[in-house]
Structure 1
Amino acid sequence: MIQSHLKTLIFILLPPVLLALGMGAAIQGSWLPELPQGLVEALPWLMGGLAGVLAFLYGRTRTLICVALVLLVYLGIMLHIRPMAMAPGTDPLPELGYALMTMLIPVVFMANAFWSERYHLVMDLLLRLAAFGGLAGIAVFLAMNDPENMADLLLTIYVPALHWDAYGMPQLSFWSLVLCLGIMGFFLLRRPSPQWAGQWITLAGIGWMLPQLFHTYAVPVFTATLLLILAIAVIHESFQMAFRDDLTGLPGRRALNERLQRLGRRYTIAMTDVDHFKKFNDTHGHDLGDQVLRVVAAQLRKVSGGGRAYRYGGEEFTIIFPGKTVEQCIPHLEDVREAIEAYEIAVRDESSRPGSKREGRARRGQGKGKKVSVTISMGVAERSQDHPDPETVIKAADQALYAAKQAGRNQVCAAE
């Protein structure tokens, strides 16, 4: 289970992280060719339009807000902070405006990430804009009416030993960024998803970009990169929704159909069914039934021998072994079947549920409660002259599965 979780996390994080790190290294090392000024200035808006349109079409309000935040940061740097910082005869850095922006952006990013998408797209978008716009408006109002106290609050170095002066960001803003990145990163590790990964990398990228005020093209080019990462996250998540089963995490029926079109001349297909699943659902409830499906899927995901598991539908699963014969696959299928048979699932007795947290703590350790286990039956068939294509192989595996059920269940049966 942990290995599968790590694979999912790496699969989601690796491409955008490599893209962000690669672009950051290219900017720092001045590896990019000389770019026309018009193209440099247009890149953020082109990428922002792409990411915004994709987020709107797929109903991703959080990503829409992220796109708007990135473009607002870009505008704030290019139109306000950077000109003031580079104008002769002014302070080297417009500290209060810079501190205010770097303090608020991580907080708004984190709040937006945890704000679930529950309402109609337009209503959700308006609510977020009102909340975050109100927060920014209050902060700007306080800064304009009491700049001295706001400067003392935002620019003071509270703990000199923990201040990184070379980073060029006020201490409070820096720790706001670190704290928000840490909280968002923790939830990303627990529940990896492309949208969470895109938002986390974008916030980290903004944290890297903000001190790059005096680089010729770092701000517009890296802004465009972050917006491209958000666009990729929308596409990646939409792909997962279409091809991955939400309950079990396995590839779904659409992914299976595409894989069946790309099999070679030798392959074996196994059809798997949870024994007495309807009776189990009626006895213990659908919540525990869903847990059973997740447990079975987690074990099927571990199948060795080069097999790949898919959710076929309901309590049925399909395992494909490219380049294998039935005889080569049966030992691996038996290992999975035995692992599922040995797995015990705890059943909570609803009548004995504690009425309070104190009662629950008092009962803890007094017994582990009832446990149940399930079994699966499998039918397996390989491509042959009698079964020349995936559809006929699946039908043969289905017939073998039926034979396994008739023979007493909890066994692997090969097609004749």
Structure 2
Amino acid sequence: MKTFFAFLIPGGVVFLAAIGFLRPHGLPSWVQGPVQALPYIVLGFGLVFGWYLSSGRLILSLIMLAFADRAVILFPPTDPDPGSANHVIFAATTFLLPLNLMALSVIKEEAISTWRGVLRLPLVLIQPFLVLWLSLPEQASLALSLQQPLLPMLMVDWTALPQPTLLAFCGALLLIGVRFIVQKNPLDCGALWALVTSCAAFQGLHYGWSATNFLSAAGLILFLTLLQASHQQTYRDDLTGIPGKLAYEEAVANLGKKYVLAVVGIDQLKQYGNQHGKPVSEQLLRLIAQKIMAAADSGKVFRLAGEEFTILFPRKTATETLVTLEAIRKAVEQTTMYLRGRDRVWEGGGASHTGSSDEELVVTASIGLAEAGNSQSSLGLVTKIAYKALYEAKGEGGNLVKRGAITPETKKPVPAEAGRIVAYNEFENS
């Protein structure tokens, strides 16, 4: 369910809103005016935030969407002659846009102010001139290849888009879709929905829709997913993808006096790191983090640093959390990991899926917990006791949930000779 919502928000929501409201007569007349300002708002905010967040990909993508919009508006494909300049410009524009969005989603992010970012800019700015060059009569044979039928008409009679354009969109959607499934990157999800929305923009011309509205929606999707990715990078741990130190600090600021803090450690992590190297231990951490997140129930999981995970249970007692922590321990214990080659770790479902040279990695977890049962138990003390319980669990062989006991903090008495309260009149008489 989380994966579904991650896929749908925000790109799918914006696309559905565009289908519902940005078509002709989709909105009341009094809203049409503000909607006409949408392209300028998206382009302006996108360029500013793209520069501020050092996202050359967003800036170049918005420029490409703006070029596509102007090409469709200035050269509408309404001429009955398929070899006319307008049709050639439409075919070239719709063919290049998905390829550009795909390329920009795959290449490494670079700020537009870096030398790599500066080198990419001419590759985008030259494309309108390339499209105009293709529309010249001397390039008629080359231009017609962009409208060449490649599939049986029964498969594509539902669309007026040129077949090379359809193949370009399908190829881009397939590649970015696979990347999103593997990496779960919101930027890939945004590029996916931007492609779908751009395709709807061009297809909608056949029904009298405004391409500008839908291309603006595509730009809005890219802008929102950049903000989403930036938020995740700020609040989430880079290695595992789970909430990190900043998210933990915000959580403890509103924790209250009643809570349980648990620390989860992987028993064999240091051993595998020393034996097989850091990449193996990092992959194990990444895979185990997802198991802990899935089994944590009401617990909030964080990775602050190092090899342990911290779990907060607000308004819970230690007894209430034992079932969840035991479920986490079992989830890790029942996970089968294999090492393939020198540094590739993968999760197996049984011996039939393993190769002859694959090495099984036994993984278990030790968990220490402590409960803040009274107002005098500081967060530092609770954390210290939870770590002490974790180390005791590891010392007893690991694969164990251990509860630490908190003794009330007592203040040391101040010696009588250290000082006394002086009355105000003593100063007056001195």
- Name the TM-score class by shorter chain: 0.7 to 0.9
Q: Return the offset for 1:317.
A: 0.6
What residue number does 1:193 align with?
185
Cα distance in 2 for residues equivalent to 1:21 and 1:336: 38
Offset of 1:120 from its aligned partner?
7.2
Task: Give the CA deviation at 1:328.
Answer: 2.2
Q: Report the equivalent of 2:46.
A: 51
Q: For 1:1-400, what aligned pairs fall within 5 Å after superposition? A: 7-8=2-3, 10-28=5-23, 30-35=25-30, 39-78=34-73, 80-82=74-76, 85=78, 94-117=86-109, 121-134=113-126, 137-162=129-154, 164-213=156-205, 218-263=210-255, 266-275=258-267, 277-347=269-339, 367-385=356-374, 388=377, 390-400=379-389
CA–CA distance in structure 2, aligned partners of residues 330 and 72 of structure 1: 59
- TM-superposed CA distance for 1:316, in Å, is 1.3
Alpha-carbon distance in structure 2 between the residues aligned to 1:408 and 1:246: 31
Aligned equivalents of 2:27 and 2:111: distance in 1?
43
TM-score (structure 1 length as normaliser): 0.83
- The 3-state SS of whatever aligns with 2:312 is strand
Q: Which moved more, 1:198-207 or 1:336-345?
A: 336-345
The CA deviation at 1:112 is 1.9
Instruction: Check the 8 A contact 1:305/1:321 in 2, yes or no.
Output: no
Q: Write the letter of the residue equivalent to 1:58.
A: L
The answer to whether the Cα contact below 8 Å between 1:381 and 1:415 also exists between their aligned partners in 2 is yes
Percent of paired sites with the same residue:
26
Distance 1:164 1:413, change over 3 A: same
| Corresponding letter in the other structure for 2:404 | A
Shift of 1:163: 5.1
Q: 2:369 aligns to what SS in structure 1?
A: strand
Q: Distance in 1 between matches of 2:220 and 2:212?
A: 12
Uncovered stretches (5+) of structure 1, i.e. residues with no partner: 1-5, 352-363
Query: In the aligned structure 1, how far is the partner of 2:128 from the partner of 2:377?
Result: 65
Q: Give 1:388 shift.
A: 4.8
Gaps (5+ residues) in structure 2?
344-352, 406-430
Structure 1 contact 47–224 (Cα < 8 Å) conserved:
yes
Q: Residue type matched to 1:124 in 2? A: R
Separation in 2, partners of 1:388, 1:239: 32
TM-score, with structure 2 as normaliser = 0.80
Q: Distance between the aligned counterparts of 2:185 and 2:268, measured in 1?
A: 33
Q: CA deviation at 1:135?
A: 5.4
Q: 1 or 2 for the larger relative contact order (CA 8 Å, sep ≥6)? A: 1
Give the distance between the partners of 1:319 and 1:54, measured in 2 at CA. 34
**Number of equivalent positions:** 396
Structure 1 counterpart SS, 2:301: strand
After the TM superposition, which of the residue ranges 96-105 and 120-129 deviates more from structure 2? 120-129
Alpha-carbon RMSD: 3.3
In structure 2, the CA distance between the partners of 1:101 and 1:244, relative to structure 1 (3 Å rule), is same
Distance 2:111 2:33 in 1: 39
SS of alignment partner, residue 210 of structure 1: helix
Q: Is the 8 A contact 1:305 1:329 kept in 2?
A: no
AA aligned to 2:369 is: V
- For residues 196 and 350 of structure 1, the distance between their equivalents in structure 2, rounded to whole angstroms, comes to 29
Q: Which moved more, 1:297-306 or 1:117-126?
A: 117-126
Q: Counterparts of 2:399 and 2:32 in 1: how far apart (Å)?
A: 69
Q: Residues 346-397 of structure 1: CA distance to partner in whole angstroms, max 9, x if unpaired?
A: 345659xxxxxxxxxxxx9872343332433221122311655544433332
Question: What is residue 414 of structure 1 aligned with on the other side?
Answer: 403
| Residue of structure 1 in register with 2:346 after alignment | none
CA distance in 2 between counterparts of 1:384 and 1:145 reads 83
CA apart distance, 1:183:
2.1
Q: 1:142, CA displacement in angstroms?
A: 3.8
Q: 1:169·1:211 contact (CA, 8 Å) conserved in 2?
A: yes
- Give the corresponding residue for 2:417: none
User: What one-letter code is carried by the residue in structure 2 that aligns with 1:376?
Assistant: A
Structure 1 residues 136 and 316 mapped into 2: Cα distance closer, same or farther (>3 Å)? same
What is the CA distance between 1:55 and its match in structure 2? 1.4
Q: Shift of the alpha carbon at 1:111? A: 1.9
* Alpha-carbon distance, 1:218 to partner: 2.8
